[in-house]
Amino acid sequence: MRAAQRDREFTEFVAARQQHLRRIAYAVCGDWNRADDVLQSALTKLYVAWPRVRRAGTEEAYLRRIIVRTDIDEHRRTWRRREQPGLDGHDRAAREGLGVEDRSALFEALQSLPEMQRKTVLLRHWLGLSVEETASELGIATGTVKSHTSRGVAALQQVLAAT
């Protein structure tokens, strides 16, 4: 019965948060296919740690950290660098909000940022994490978060002002 309850709780959590978590993975990776792979790996790791993480009540924070770290690990693998996406143009549509042109410009601008600037900007301004939470998620100092975020926001403003 305990295993059934664990599976039920995990499934309910994933069902309720899957689209949000997929968007986080996409924002970190910049590619829907890679985001799906990263999210799948993160969910597998979450399932293994589920009882401990559930008791602590840190499910989403734990999962965000895994998404970021899994993406970093994937970048380090040499075989991954040679992989090319095969189905351009077949990604799911983003949720409504910004117009298509504005959304495209924003994502292009985000993808032009260096990796750590992109991740700090996303965690701080899109997910609304504090400097300390962002530092913890990325495993870096708070001062580093501040400098990466400041540089990233300035670069975004320049790119978006030019469009």
* pLDDT at 100 (0 to 100): 66
Quick: pLDDT tens for 103-132.
777 888 888 899 999 999 989 988 888 999
Please, where are the H alpha helices in the chain? 2-29, 32-56, 59-76, 78-82, 100-112, 115-121, 131-138, 142-162
Kindly report the pTM of this predicted structure. Answer: 0.55
Residues of the chain predicted below pLDDT 70:
1, 76-100, 163
Cβ neighbours of 31 (radius 10 Å): 15
Provide the domain limits for residue 146: 98-163
Handedness of CA 85, 88, 93, 95 (dihedral sign): positive
- Establish if 89 belongs to a structural domain: no
Last residue of a domain, one of 83, 115, 148: 83
- Establish if 159 belongs to a structural domain: yes
Quick: pLDDT tens for 14-26.
999 999 999 999 9
Last residue of a domain, one of 23, 48, 83: 83
